Amino acid sequence: MIPAQFDYLAPGSVEEAVAALAEHGDEAKVLAGGQSLLPILRMRLNAPGVVIDLGRIPELQGVTEDGDHLVIGAMTTYAALLASEAVSMHAALLSKAVATVADPQIRHRGTVGGALVHADPAGDVGAPALALGAELVIAGAGGSTRTVAAEDFFEDLFTTAVGEGELLTQIRIPKHTGWGAHYEKFVRVSHQWSIVGVAATVRSEGGSIAEARVGLTNMGSTPLRARSVEEALVGQPATDEAVRAAVASVAEGTNPPSDLNGDADYRKHLATVLTRRAVLAAAGA
């Protein structure tokens, strides 16, 4: 199908983009990489009067270092993240997760900020952002900005802390230099959304796990942080037996969708298996 007619704006700065949002209100939709918005427009599930394209705002693109943090522009593509030595060195978990997203064509168009704001619980960026303790910078009217922790950013299904008239501009990630990382996901066919995914990053000392961070994909209406598992892993040897016992409770308290033959227990089983695999791989076992 062909989208309904709309006006197109391509602001050159964050200030211009926020002003355009204020002017057009509910009539406006923001275009990042377009991998979620464009199919919706083509199927006429949404018919905005104005589309605001963020692709010509240089300050929203690229990866820089700011002391003990990486700063990633919201319009940075998956492909740019994969090409970044800084990301692979200081936030390896994000690189590992992004490498599993769809196919090269999608990775060259899709953006990390677009994925985070879209907030699909089956997306592969939210769980790594949680596990890495990311902070998200949001711009509003009058040049105002605010910073929201990843754990407070995801509010519900397809709902985030980005309010009306606001834009996500940066993702700030504490450096996890030297941490092992792995993203384990299960799909039924290639390039499909994750049925379940697990993001794990581990700091090892002398063959034992000194620190661990674990995020879960598609185990609820938002990405989830498995804090009880993280605590249980600390001090454990990086062996199959020890890790298996530490992650056994990873699915407790989760509320995964029951769209697979109506059985959410299947996803809970997957989460346990994939967490064990992800942690062992991250620990180098």
Segment 118-132, tens digit of pLDDT: 999 999 999 999 999
Mean of pLDDT values over 36-54 = 92
Q: Is residue 198 over pLDDT 70?
A: yes
Reduced 3-state DSSP string for the chain: CCCCCCEEECCCCHHHHHHHHHHHHHHEEEECCCCCHHHHHHCCCCCCCEEEECCCCHHHCCEEEECCEEEEECCCEHHHHHHCHHHHHHCHHHHHHHCCCCCHHHHHHCEHHHHHHHCCCCCCCHHHHHHCCCEEEEECHHHCEEEEEHHHHEEECCEECCCCCCEEEEEEEECCCCCEEEEEEECCCCCCCCCEEEEEEEEEECCEEEEEEEEEECCCCCCEECHHHHHHHCCCECCHHHHHHHCCCCCCCCCCCCCCCCCHHHHHHHHHHHHHHHHHHHCCC
pTM for this model (two decimals): 0.96
d(CA 181, CA 176): 10
What confidence category does residue 192 fall into, taking pLDDT thresholds of 50, 70 and 90? confident
Q: Is residue 204 over pLDDT 90?
A: yes
d(CA 126, CA 153): 10
Which pLDDT value is given to residue 261? 59
Query: What number of other Cβ atoms are within 10 A of residue 251's Cβ?
Result: 24
Which pLDDT value is given to residue 260? 58
- What value does the mean pLDDT of the chain take? 95
Mean of pLDDT values over 145-159 = 98
Q: Is residue 1 over pLDDT 90?
A: no
Segment 215-252, tens digit of pLDDT: 999 999 999 999 999 999 999 999 999 999 999 999 99
Q: Is residue 147 over pLDDT 90?
A: yes
Mean of pLDDT values over 79-96 = 98
Mean of pLDDT values over 1-5 = 86
Query: What number of other Cβ atoms are within 10 A of residue 58's Cβ?
Result: 10
